[in-house]
Amino acid sequence: MNYKAPKGTKDILPSEVHIWQYIEEKSRNILEKANYKEIRTPVFEATELFARGVGDSTDIVNKEMYTFEQKNRSLTLRPENTAGVVRAFIEHGMHRLPSPLKLWYKGPMFRYERPQAGRQRQFHQLGLELFGVENPSADAEVIQIAMKLLDEIGLKGLSLEINNIGCPQCRNEYKNRIKEAIRPKLEEFCQDCLVRFEKNPLRILDCKNEKCRNLLALPEIDSIISAEFICEPCITHFEELKDYLKTLNIEYVINKKLVRGLDYYNRTVFEITSTELGTQNAVCGGGRYDPLVETLGGPPTPAVGWAMGMERLITLCEISGENPLDVFIVSHDTKQAQKLAFKLRDSGISCEFDFSGRKFGKQLEKASKSGARFSILLGEEELKTGILTLKNLLTGEQEKVSPEEVYQKLFH
Ligand code: ATP
Ligand code: MG
């Protein structure tokens, strides 16, 4: 049997893991400066949580979940993490903590989709949620943090699209309007859209099918969909958000057809894309989801958040290679080499040695191949005197140093 990683999953190998670590480190710094605290929730939850929390008219719940039964319980590998975070928020009474409450997470998500470039079945998201603020300054803050993060990582060709999809009240009228607009051409839409037409017509705007997208672009349909429909309070919220973004010098484009894949969004929705990616060009998606906490059994709590696809960031992030090893110890005396290695590691030096004690020539070859910046020779003389020979593997220069001086020589 020839074992392979399951379709739609990928090993993250040591040769690329440094990019992940780099992005994770940068993100953590930025998020913690803005007072977001990390939360880690289980990778599986009750299936019902996603059916309620993501919405049973979404592709995610209808087609993409990994669900399994166990002792009459139905469990599902998380396809996203907002539902899990909200569940934890309610379960641990976090609404009683000082508001706003800011949380972030990272980890694997699972969706049964057709694997293709930029789309996997196990993929990773980094995301944040801000609870307790109804004011659009919260929407602006989360957008600012997303842009800052992508910028710090060095991503280019970014574009931010925003929209306001109204609140549960005004959206009903919008849904009717979408239905009226497309009814004359309804038979030409895909099977999924026919179901969406009945269950949640807004989601037709998110259809990936090219034929449906072309139909939506027809002037007679587009003009109806793009016309303003939201109520006064929603308009004010949107206007204020635009003001905040202008003050923060964040450029945006308004996309009237932007809706998100999840049912619980209201008012602000946004997406960040990169021109450097192919068809799957979205790196970050998010928005406001004021009704969700209450829907899942908590007290009414406004909330806004986003999630980024890590794999898509990784393909765009151009950073140089891994950190090289500092020192490779060459010695016939494996015990002493190991002892010295532990000592150097304790003092903050990354260090390796040859476990075999074989010929110096072979060990030196291994030292150069290891990519180490320096080697330390620990021969008979060095063992007798306690003074080490430090060799710069790039220039070939050698000098005598005491073990205590190594750190100084390497880093200053
Ligand atoms: P799409 O419309 O492309 O399917 P989505 O609405 O399902 O996207 P979200 O649920 O908002 O996406 O997820 C946020 C981000 O997570 C996306 O912008 C993308 O970068 C990433 N993402 C989503 N699904 C996948 C996947 N299957 N593989 C890799 N990354 C993904
Ligand atoms: Mg999707």
Task: Tell me which residue has its CA closest to atom 11 in ligand 1.
Answer: 285
Token pair for 360: 């110096």
C-beta of 78 in contact with ligand 1 (< 6 A):
no
Residue 203 confidence (pLDDT): 87
Task: Tell me which residue has its CA closest to atom 30 in ligand 1.
Answer: 309
Residue 7 confidence (pLDDT): 97
Question: Which ligand is nearest the CA of 207, by number?
Answer: 1
Q: Which atom of ligand 1 is nearest to the CA of 127?
A: 14
Tell me the CATH architecture of domain 14-158+251-316: 2-Layer Sandwich (3.30)
- Delimit the domains of the chain by residue range: 14-158+251-316, 327-411
Omega cis (within 30) before 100: yes
List, in order, residues 6 or more apart from 72 with CB less than 8 Å away. none
Token pair for 159: 């574009």
Q: Supply the DSSP string of 158-197, one letter for each residue.
A: EEEEEEE---HHHHHHHHHHHHHHHGGGGGGS-HHHHHHH
C-alpha span between 115 and 8 (Å, rounded): 5
Task: Tell me which residue has its CA closest to atom 29 in ligand 1.
Answer: 119
Which of 211, 267, 280 is CA-nearest to residue 238?
Answer: 267
Question: Which ligand is nearest the CA of 309, by number?
Answer: 1
CB-based contact 86:296 (threshold 8 Å): yes
Q: Of the residues 54, 123, 270, 311, which should be mutated to test ligand 1's pocket, given the most ligand atoms within 8 Å of the CB? A: 123
What CATH code would you report for 327-411?
3.40.50.800
Question: Which ligand is nearest the CA of 119, by number?
Answer: 1
What are the phi and psi torsion angles at 237 (to 5°)? -60, -45
C-alpha span between 241 and 237 (Å, rounded): 6
**Alpha-helix residue ranges (DSSP H) falling in 248-358:** 292-295, 310-316, 334-346
Residue whose token pair is 């030292």: 367
Q: What separation in Å is there between the alpha carbon of 408 and the centre of ligand 2?
A: 52
Q: What separation in Å is there between the alpha carbon of 411 and the centre of ligand 1?
A: 43
C-beta of 263 in contact with ligand 1 (< 6 A):
no
Ordered per-residue pLDDT tens for the chain, 412 residues: 899 999 999 999 998 999 999 999 999 999 999 999 999 999 999 999 999 999 888 889 989 999 999 999 999 999 999 999 999 999 999 999 999 999 999 999 999 999 998 899 999 999 999 999 999 999 999 999 999 999 999 888 899 999 999 998 888 888 888 898 889 999 999 998 998 898 888 889 888 889 999 999 998 888 888 887 889 999 999 999 999 999 999 999 999 889 887 778 899 999 999 988 878 889 999 999 999 999 999 999 999 999 999 999 998 887 777 788 999 999 999 999 999 999 999 999 999 999 998 999 999 999 999 999 999 999 999 999 999 999 999 999 999 999 899 999 998 7
Q: What separation in Å is there between the alpha carbon of 262 and the centre of ligand 2?
A: 9
Q: What separation in Å is there between the alpha carbon of 200 and the centre of ligand 2?
A: 16
Residue 174 confidence (pLDDT): 85
DSSP β-bridge partners for residue 282: 273
* SS3 state of residue 59: helix
Size of the chain in residues: 412
Task: Tell me which residue has its CA closest to atom 31 in ligand 1.
Answer: 309
C-beta of 266 in contact with ligand 1 (< 6 A):
no
C-alpha span between 243 and 241 (Å, rounded): 5
